[in-house]
Amino acid sequence: MPGVQLDLGAHQGIRTVTRVVVEADGGSRGNPGPAGYGAVVFDADHRTVLAERHASIGRATNNVAEYRGLLAGLTAAAELGADEVDVRMDSKLVVEQMSGRWKIKHPDMIPLAAAARETAAKFRRVDYTWIPRAENAYADRLANVAMDAAAEALVSGEETPAPAEPSSSPSPAAATPAPTAPGWTGATGSPTRLLLLRHGQTPLSVERRYSGRGNPPLTELGREQAVAAARRIAARGGVAAVVSSPLGRARETATVAADALDLPVTVHNGLIETDFGEWEGLTFGEAAQRDPEIHRAWLGDTSVRPPGGESFDEVHKRIVAVRDDLVSEYGGATVLVVSHVTPIKTFLRLALDSGPSLLYRLHLDLASFSTAEFYPDGGSSVRLVNDTSHL
């Protein structure tokens, strides 16, 4: 980290400070898998490193490792004699739970959060702020060092690797670089990665009927698809938030995944499916027979509305606003977005910077995953389309 100075005296406990900045991170390779955390304490100006901690913790989940990183950072700040602490983390879960805005439901997190609160009570003030991963590179580097040690220990058969000793000579220049775009895109910075999940099966999708603003529930198979998708996303880990369409079939799918991730579901009304108007509940053939000229035009012109409904151009405008909201709220993080065919196709169209023909030529299965990334400099990429390997 350019401009960061090292205060080695602080590591020896010979300096007392009033206000510090704690940055912490944690992760696992497998979720659960070989896990570790990292934490760094800066002075109030965020220029001088006062302490750093990292340790491997054997096999654990991402969230457990993140809480262990927070606890290590707060403990280091207390050892320095700090009175006020500004905690900065790229884990929205930890930040929101420690700020009291989200409930803690997972049994593994409850004692860790309690220990963190007990340590935080030693200070006059502790504030928690979410930051993009790119701004948490120092702690991320330390956590990766710890995860490397955990992985090596587990491979060698050591069930509980010994924690690493606090570092006495940190090297800011060794920070792990932020994720980059595929080399041919030229995009720079840390992307906001949208994991786009279509909802599971409903009775209308079984009968291949237009299903827009109606609210059919998931079928039994649809619920099984939601569980399979949740298992996949939980094994992947690293998800900062779950955002869903307001419609029941999407919210039900999102809730299963959110429970597996121990995250709440945030509803964004902009993720709702296209309003098919008077074609709602009709089959393709029934709609074509009812309104032959309009239906024919609708199949090739994104400005055409179904009777009483919404055009694809209007959906496009809506999803542009949703994308901007998500990038603003979760910049640099990974977000699970649970929605419907047209919104997901539109996200992919935006990321590919493609024309409207994509809407008519791209097929998306029920409970399929696609991935779109949006970069701070305006670049974008698509890494995955219609993946159903979990089903």
Give ∠ CA 223-227-232 in degrees, rounded to 5: 145
Q: Specify whether the CB–CB gap between 202 and 215 falls below 8 A.
A: no
Largest CA distance in the chain: 83
| Burial class, 16, CB count within 10 angstroms (exposed 0-12 / middle 13-18 / buried 19+) | exposed
| Gyration radius from the chain CA atoms | 24
The catalytic residues are 199, 273
My answer on whether omega of the bond before 179 falls inside 30° of 0, hence cis, is: no
Count Cα atoms within 13 angstroms, Cβ side, for 174: 9
Which residues does 386 contact at the CB level (< 8 Å), separation at least 6? 362, 363, 364, 365, 368, 369, 370
Helices and strands per DSSP (H, E), number in the chain:
13, 12
Q: Give the whole-angstrom CA distance, residue 67 versus residue 63.
A: 6
